[in-house]
Amino acid sequence: MQSIHIEPEELYLTSRAMWQQSQQISQVASSLQAAVMRLEMAWLGGSAEEVISSLQVVIRRLRDRMDELERLGLILSREAERWQESDQVWSRVYRDELLQKGP
């Protein structure tokens, strides 16, 4: 049977970093959306529609990646919690067994 090694604190740190990065992506997407809105007012005709449409696709993809980072970060956080709880249970079991055996 393969052993499992988990360091919950590292999972928490990675989860937090993923959340922070998702927030940065959100800010970038919002800034880009504002720029696209300004561009729509400033540029009509020619290839404007094509460029603006392509930028909207980029914004949607950024938001999708943001959602994915948040989802994966939540999974990591939950996994860390699960392993910490399990570790606490096993620590109590071990301690109780030691107390039952006595010195």
Phi, psi of 44 (to 5 degrees): -125, 145
pLDDT of residue 94: 63
Q: Is residue 29 part of a domain?
A: yes
Q: What is the dihedral of CA 71, 73, 74, 76, to 10 degrees?
A: 130
Q: Is residue 77 part of a domain?
A: yes
User: Residues 13-30: what's their mean pLDDT?
Assistant: 96
Q: Is residue 1 part of a domain?
A: no
Number of domains in the chain: 1
User: Residues 16-27: what's their mean pLDDT?
Assistant: 96
CA dist 63 → 21, 22, 49, 77, 83 (Å)? 12, 9, 21, 21, 30
Measured between alpha carbons, how far is 60 from 62 in angstroms, rounded to an integer?
A: 5
Q: Is residue 2 part of a domain?
A: no
Task: Find out whether 83 and 8 touch, Cβ atoms under 8 Å.
Answer: yes
Q: Is residue 20 part of a domain?
A: yes
Q: Is residue 72 part of a domain?
A: yes
Q: Is residue 23 part of a domain?
A: yes
**Nearby residues of 32 by Cβ (< 8 Å), 6 or more positions away:** 55, 58, 59, 62
Q: Is residue 67 part of a domain?
A: yes
CATH code of the domain in which 70 resides = 1.10.287.1060
pTM of the model: 0.76
Domain encompassing residue 73: 8-101
Q: What digits encode the pLDDT tens for the residues 23-62?
A: 999 999 999 999 999 999 999 999 999 999 999 999 999 9
